[in-house]
């Protein structure tokens, strides 16, 4: 994303924020509305195989949102890349609303008549930050 987000980048950011708000609020009807109507949608939840097709993807979200043990997720470090006039890629870190449990997410949006809609969501574990190697002061440049 450029330093000053364009109107389209802002629209994608709002769509991404709506996705995470809907997830936290456990609103399956809003979740349905956020996904593209295309049958080519796909979703990979952490530790699972990729689901293909609108019916399978939305069934997975219905089960997740109905489960009271599903954590409330927030997005941070969101970055938007407009791939074309109709495709946008969002990467972000997901964390628990209460703190901790860092995951990495990729959300692919397509612009449709009714706005930016999810085409693909993939979440996986975020790699741990490697420890900084200790270097003797005399070895620094």
Domain range annotation of the chain: 7-127
Residue 28's pLDDT is what?
96
The 8-class DSSP code of residue 46 comes to T
Residue 53's pLDDT is what?
97
Give the Cβ contact number of residue 139 at 10 Å.
6
DSSP H or E segment with residue 141: none
Q: How far apart are CA 36 and CA 54, in angstroms?
A: 8
pLDDT tens by residue, 38-52: 999 999 999 899 999
CATH code, residues 7-127: 3.10.450.50
Residue 135's pLDDT is what?
52
Q: What's the chain's average pLDDT?
A: 88
Residue 17's pLDDT is what?
97
Residue 74's pLDDT is what?
87
Residue 125's pLDDT is what?
83
Which stretch of 3-7, 41-45, 133-137 has the lowest confidence by average pLDDT?
A: 133-137
Q: Indicate if the pLDDT at residue 4 is higher than 50.
A: yes
- Bigger pLDDT: 69 or 15? 15
- Mean pLDDT in residue range 96-114: 88
The backbone torsions φ and ψ at residue 80, rounded to the nearest 5 degrees and listed phi first, read -115, 135
């Amino acid at each position: 994303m450029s330093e000053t987000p364009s109107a389209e980048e802002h629209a994608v950011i709002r769509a991404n924020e709506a996705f995470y708000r809907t997830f936290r609020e456990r609103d399956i009807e809003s979740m349905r509305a956020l996904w593209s109507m295309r049958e080519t949608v796909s979703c990979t939840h952490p530790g699972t195989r990729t689901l293909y097709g609108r019916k399978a993807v939305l069934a997975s979200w219905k089960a997740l949102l109905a489960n009271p043990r599903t954590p409330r997720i927030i997005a941070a470090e969101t970055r938007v890349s407009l791939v074309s006039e109709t495709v946008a890629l969002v990467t972000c870190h997901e964390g628990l609303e209460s703190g901790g449990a860092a995951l990495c997410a990729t959300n692919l949006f397509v612009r449709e008549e009714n706005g930016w809609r999810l085409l693909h969501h993939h979440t996986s574990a975020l790699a741990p930050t490697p420890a900084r190697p200790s270097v003797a002061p005399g070895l620094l440049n």
